[in-house]
Amino acid sequence: MYLTVAALSLIHIVAGDISVQAFTDTQCAGSSVGTNVHSNPAGVHDGSGCIASSTFNSINTISVDAGFQCNIYSDTACQNFLTTAKTVGCLPVIGQGIICFSQESFDNPLAGSKAVIGIGKNSIIARTEGDIRNVVDRALTNACGNTVCDPNTNDVVTYQFGFECESGLADPAGSNTGIFCDKKEKCTQTVSTSGDYDNTEQRDYMKELLKTTMKQGTSQAAVPQDSDFFKSGASEILNNQLSFAQVVINDPKGANLAQVCYSKSLTDASKTFETDNVLL
């Protein structure tokens, strides 16, 4: 949160801003005390912070934000609470400290924010394990805590990729035994995540967006159902998927509030280089 004290004519108040002027008398007509107190619309939460002044006897509040609130304190440290001003106008009160803020922003930190989704340019052929959303959920659940995702906590699964088949073989009695297939390659599928956020509400919101994004970015089976791969008894369903997706939450001013990234890669389990023909 940023703190600010600004001297500004009351006629310059804009939407979402709060302005309070303190006075020496009880009718908001005497000499003013200090400068106007404003909320800070550029902060994550609109709030002025504690503004200390000489003793005042009334405050005049002007705001076009229906959710505004100003707390009045008897001391300059804003520790001894007196009352709250929730309506526009003059309020007789003796105090030395004021804090003004937008109640909506405190109640809902995501109010007015926008989520931006980004995806990678490459597709990847990999397993969905029934539903790609389960893979996303498992990876983020294991790697992401209350405020950050650990990029070193990966979701790793090893499986067989493709079959190598031979046909026309015969047993010793001369009977054709049909098609014989051996599993061709063993691939390791690795899902990595990274990100940071203020709370679990932001985390869970971004997780659901990533699950939906990856689901929509997954096409039908990349290997035809009538191919030798499936005729041989293979049970793996491989799909074209997104290799990367990211969600960023921006506040109304465009500042980055939170983000989470998801990426998936495949490598040959018996070699150090990338599995052949899995990146498009």
pLDDT at res. 199? 85
Tell me the CA distances in angstroms from 176 to 87, 107, 167, 171, 179, one per residue in order. Answer: 91, 74, 9, 7, 9
Whether 41 shows a pLDDT value over 50: the answer reads no
Same domain membership, residue 75 and residue 185: no
pLDDT at res. 117? 92
More confident position, 72 or 10? 72
Whether 271 shows a pLDDT value over 80: the answer reads no
3-state SS track over 46-69: CECCCEEEEEEEEEEEEECCCCEE
DSSP annotation of 15 reads T
d(CA 198, CA 113): 14
What backbone torsions phi and psi does residue 150 show, to the nearest 5 degrees?
-85, 110
Q: What is the mean pLDDT of the chain?
A: 74
Domain endpoint, select from 87, 107, 127: 107
Same domain membership, residue 121 and residue 257: yes
| pLDDT tens, residue by residue, 202-256 | 899 999 999 999 988 888 665 555 555 444 444 456 778 889 999 999 877 788 8
DSSP annotation of 8 reads -
pLDDT at res. 233? 45
Same domain membership, residue 229 and residue 123: yes
Q: Can you spell out the DSSP letters for 89-151?
A: EEEEEEEEEEEEEEHHHHH-TTTT-EEEEEE-S-EEEEE-TT-HHHHHHHHHHHHB-SSEE-T
Name the token pair of 77. 């440290």
In sequence order, what are the residues at sequence separation of 6 or more whose Cβ sits closer than 8 angstroms to the Cβ of residue 209? 115, 117, 247
Name the token pair of 158. 């090893």
pLDDT at res. 129? 75
Same domain membership, residue 75 and residue 135: no
Same domain membership, residue 207 and residue 264: yes
Q: Which domain holds residue 169?
A: 114-268
Whether 140 shows a pLDDT value over 90: the answer reads yes
Same domain membership, residue 130 and residue 250: yes
Name the token pair of 247. 């969600």
* Distant-in-sequence contacts of 142-147, Cβ < 8 A, 24+ apart: 143/193, 144/193, 144/195, 144/203, 144/207, 144/260, 146/199, 146/200, 146/203, 147/196, 147/197, 147/198, 147/199
Number of folded domains that form the chain: 2
- Residue 18's pLDDT band (cuts 50, 70, 90): low
Mean pLDDT of 16-38: 74
In sequence order, what are the residues at sequence separation of 6 or more whose Cβ sits closer than 8 angstroms to the Cβ of residue 91? 58, 59, 60, 61, 72, 83, 85
What CATH number did the domain enclosing 33 receive? Answer: 2.60.20
58 close to 23: Cβ distance less than 8 angstroms: yes
Question: Amino acid letter at 135?
Answer: V
- Residue 279's pLDDT band (cuts 50, 70, 90): very low
Tell me the CA distances in angstroms from 229 to 70, 130, 159, 221, 268, one per residue in order. Answer: 69, 18, 14, 12, 18
| pLDDT tens, residue by residue, 84-120 | 888 888 999 999 988 887 766 666 656 667 889 999 8
Name the token pair of 79. 């520790």
More confident position, 147 or 1? 147
Same domain membership, residue 203 and residue 101: no
pLDDT at res. 259? 95
Whether 63 shows a pLDDT value over 50: the answer reads yes
Is residue 3 one of the residues assigned to a domain? no
Indicate whether this model's pTM tops 0.75.
Answer: no
Q: Give the three-class secondary structure for 255.
A: coil
The closest of 217, 228, 240, 1 to 99, measured between CA atoms, is 1
Is residue 280 one of the residues assigned to a domain? no
DSSP annotation of 153 reads -
What beta strand segments (E) does 123-237 contain? 123-127, 148-149, 155-170, 176-196
pLDDT at res. 166? 53
